[in-house]
Amino acid sequence: MLSVQRELKHQPHPTVHIIMGRTYTKRLIADGKLTCPMQWLDNEFAINTEHRVIVCPYFDYRQLSNIKIQYLAKLIKSLVA
């Protein structure tokens, strides 16, 4: 992971990982497949700034409203700024 982190620091636009779905994310955590600690911002969004991981609602018009898309864009910008 360290070599990946060093590589990301030298990229002009660092990679951001987006996981869609709270239930899916919690299953990944329970199964030990997602080991970085997530800071839950509300019931639907979580973030880990060190590893540039964001959890958001599934990309579906019923779950990801325009307001949530704007919030997701703000979170992404905060990770790459």
Number of other residues whose CB lies within 10 A of the CB of residue 55: 26
The average confidence (pLDDT) of the chain is: 87
**CA-to-CA dists, residue 39 to 28, 34, 44, 62, angstroms:** 15, 13, 11, 24
Average pLDDT, integer, range 9-13? 60
4 vs 68, residue with greater confidence: 68
The pLDDT of residue 54 is: 97
The pLDDT of residue 75 is: 97
Report whether 53 contacts 17 (CB < 8 A).
yes
Convert 3-51 into a string of H (helix), E (strand) and C (coil).
HHHHHHHCCCCCCCEEEECHHHHHHHHHCCCCCCCCEECCCCCEEECCC
Q: Where are the domains of the chain?
A: 2-80
For the cut 50, the answer to whether the pLDDT of residue 27 exceeds it is yes
- This prediction's pTM: 0.80
